[in-house]
């Protein structure tokens, strides 16, 4: 039974996907307890109170334009471009025909992983060769935003240089382009973009306020859990617990439309991926380059930090 007390989300697990317990509300109960724990952690932290922190709390995401002062931004962008170019010289970027969530492909500079045709390239942040990127990861404002949302800062080891290279969606679809939420409790993902991200570059897409566990949302979650248990019983493949959407779900939940978030260079996006989101549509070959950080705490961790 112990998986129930972990952050595990897959209904393939016999306890998490237990049909009777889920009829009785197990999944929703896990969400509520996890939400309570997020609140307990937050109360132990000094929370940011600026407009960005308030927007993040209210909407589940925030875009902060002009995040760094001009000269610091220029220097950081140069460092990131050089790192991405060096990785590409070593490991050229090629299309991928294998479907779905691909395996990690390690390289001396980090690793590649595909979502369908979309390449996710993660470059390790080496303290000696990437001093400006390293300094960015210690940015106090980032830590403040993350603590305000989930009662924990993003640890250094959870930062990467992250290049996304979009594939051809018609040829090999990328699952991350379907609206979803990552798991059943609040997490933070952040991207600091050093180049503009246009509507054609696969901008991050978020449904404002969808991180809030309203009664309607909990009812939807309960129904999804029931369906996931049924799928497990019938042996049909599920989504591993990252529930996907059907058309019309947003209106039923009283939520507005999903909002693409194209940004100028030097913009930060922070989002709670308990809210509904996806990777935006893109022209095949379009790239995004960012410093990426994420924190997915143990769902029931009571200790803020
Ligand atoms: O790459 C993106 O814009 C978002 C992808 C996504 O769904 C995620 O990272 O959880
Ligand atoms: Fe996601």
Q: Is residue 118 part of a domain?
A: yes
CATH of the domain at 174: 2.60.120.620
Residue 77 CA to ligand 2 center (angstroms) comes to 25
Q: State the Cα torsion 130-134-135-138 to the nearest 10°.
A: 170
Atom of ligand 1 nearest to the CA of 115: 5
Tell me the residue range of the domain where 182 lies. 7-295
Q: Is 204 in the pocket of ligand 1 (CB under 6 A)?
A: yes
Tokens matching residue 225: 């859990």
Residues whose CB is less than 8 angstroms from the CB of residue 51 and which lie 6 or more positions away in sequence, other chains included:
none
CA distance 29 to 9: 13
Is 284 domain-assigned?
Answer: yes
How many whole angstroms separate alpha carbon 159 and alpha carbon 136?
Answer: 10
pLDDT on residue 241: 63
Decide: pTM greater than 0.85.
yes
User: 287 CB under 6 A from ligand 1?
Assistant: no
CA distance 148 to 158: 18
Residue 31 phi, psi (nearest 5): -65, -40
Q: How many domains does the chain have?
A: 1
Domain assignment present for 300: no
Give the span between the Cα atoms of 175 and 102, in whole angstroms. 11
- Ligand 1 binding pocket includes 177 (Cβ within 6 Å): no
> Is 305 among the domain residues?
no
Distance 24 CA to ligand 1 centre (A): 32
Partner residues linked to 293 by β-bridges: 159, 190
18 pocket-lining for ligand 1 (C-beta < 6 Å): no
Sorted by sequence, the CB contacts under 8 Å of residue 167 that are 6+ apart come out as: 95, 96, 114, 116, 117, 118, 119, 174, 284
Per-position b or e across 120-146, b if 16+ CB within 10 A of its CB: bbbbbbeeeebebbbebbebebbbbbb
pLDDT in tens, the chain (305 residues): 889 999 999 888 889 999 999 999 999 999 999 999 999 999 999 888 899 999 999 999 999 999 999 999 999 999 999 999 999 999 999 999 999 999 999 999 999 999 999 999 999 999 999 999 999 999 999 999 999 999 999 999 999 999 999 999 999 999 999 999 999 999 999 999 999 999 999 999 999 999 999 999 999 999 999 989 988 888 776 656 667 776 678 989 999 999 999 999 999 999 999 999 999 999 999 999 999 999 999 999 999 99
176 lines ligand 1 (CB under 6 A): yes
Phi, psi of 164 (to 5 degrees): -110, 130
CA of 173 to the centre of ligand 1 (A): 14
The reply to whether 228 falls in a domain is yes
- Ligand 1 within 6 A of CB of 182: yes
Nearest ligand for residue 239 CA: 2
Residue 1 lies in a domain: no
Q: How many Cα neighbours within 13 Å face the side chain of 199?
A: 2
Distance 182 CA to ligand 2 centre (A): 5
Q: What pLDDT shows up at residue 93?
A: 97
Residue 164 CA to ligand 2 centre (angstroms): 14
Is 290 inside a domain boundary?
A: yes
- Rounded to an integer, what distance in angstroms lies between the CA atom of residue 53 and that of residue 42? 13
Has residue 301 been placed in a domain? no
């Amino acid at each position: 039974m112990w998986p129930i007390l972990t952050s595990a989300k897959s209904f393939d697990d016999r306890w998490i996907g237990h049909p009777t317990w889920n009829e009785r509300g197990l999944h929703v109960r896990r969400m509520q307890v996890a939400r309570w724990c997020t609140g307990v952690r937050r109360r132990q932290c000094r929370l940011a109170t600026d407009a960005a922190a308030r927007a993040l709390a209210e909407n589940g995401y925030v875009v902060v334009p002009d995040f760094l002062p001009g000269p610091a931004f220029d220097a950081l962008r140069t460092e990131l471009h050089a790192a991405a170019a060096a990785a590409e010289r070593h490991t050229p970027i090629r299309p991928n025909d294998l479907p779905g969530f691909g395996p990690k492909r390690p390289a001396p500079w980090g690793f590649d992983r595909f979502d369908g045709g979309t390449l996710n390239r993660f470059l390790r942040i080496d303290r000696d060769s990437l001093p400006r990127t390293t300094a960015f990861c210690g940015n106090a404002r980032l830590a403040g935003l993350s603590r305000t949302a989930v009662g924990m800062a993003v640890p250094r080891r959870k930062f990467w240089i992250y290049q996304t290279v979009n594939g051809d969606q018609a040829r090999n679809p990328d699952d991350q382009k379907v609206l979803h939420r990552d798991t059943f409790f609040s997490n933070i993902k952040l991207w600091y973009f050093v180049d503009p991200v246009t509507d054609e570059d696969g901008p991050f897409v978020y449904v404002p306020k969808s991180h809030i566990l309203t009664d309607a949302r909990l009812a939807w979650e309960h129904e999804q859990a029931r369906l996931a248990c049924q799928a497990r019983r019938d042996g049909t493949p599920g989504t591993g617990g990252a529930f996907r959407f059907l058309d019309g779900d947003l209106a039923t939940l009283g939520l507005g439309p999903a909002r693409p978030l194209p940004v100028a260079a030097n913009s930060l996006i922070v989002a709670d991926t308990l809210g509904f989101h996806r990777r935006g549509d893109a022209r095949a070959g379009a790239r995004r380059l960012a410093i990426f950080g994420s924190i997915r705490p143990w769902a029931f961790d009571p200790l803020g930090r």
